[in-house]
Amino acid sequence: KSWAFAALKAEGASRPLAPWLDATLVLNRSNAFGMVPVAGQASRWGLAILNFAVAAALLWLLCRRRLRPPTALGAAFLLAGAAGNAIDRMRWGVVVDFLDLSRLGFRWIFNLADASVDIGIALLLLSIATSRDPGQAPGGAPASEPRP
């Protein structure tokens, strides 16, 4: 993200990285898809706190519960994405997005933390879909069994 600021210099600036990928600097003051109204510092700190709370809850889950591998991996990807975007908000006041796949028809510009969240969600959905034991909590060990 520091590279994106240094190389692109201004919001909206763009440069090609590959035939299918551009770097385009977007400073996201809201959340995914701009669903939260921007209210200045309240948005910045409120979303940063929410991101860190999600990351802390996922860390607790990873440390305290016995999880199936796809569930643990999905939670880890979500944790990384939430923490990455929270760090952006604290450091720069915005989430720095710069990966632009519009040449492939994908209209949103995103960053690696966003991709990490998407991968985490996909892994958790896969874990839920492949969970077969009716006595098992989705993606994990039996619901009443904490990790020793």
Q: Provide the annotated active-site residues.
A: 97, 114
Residue 39 to residues 47, 104, 108, 111: CA-CA distances in angstroms?
11, 33, 22, 22
Instruction: Write out the two tokens for 95.
Output: 């989430």
Residue 22, strand partner residues: 16, 100
Residue type, 12: G
SS3 136: strand
| CB contact at 8 A, 52 and 125 | no
> Using CA atoms, how far apart are residues 8 and 133, in angstroms rounded to an integer?
51
| CB contact at 8 A, 113 and 81 | yes
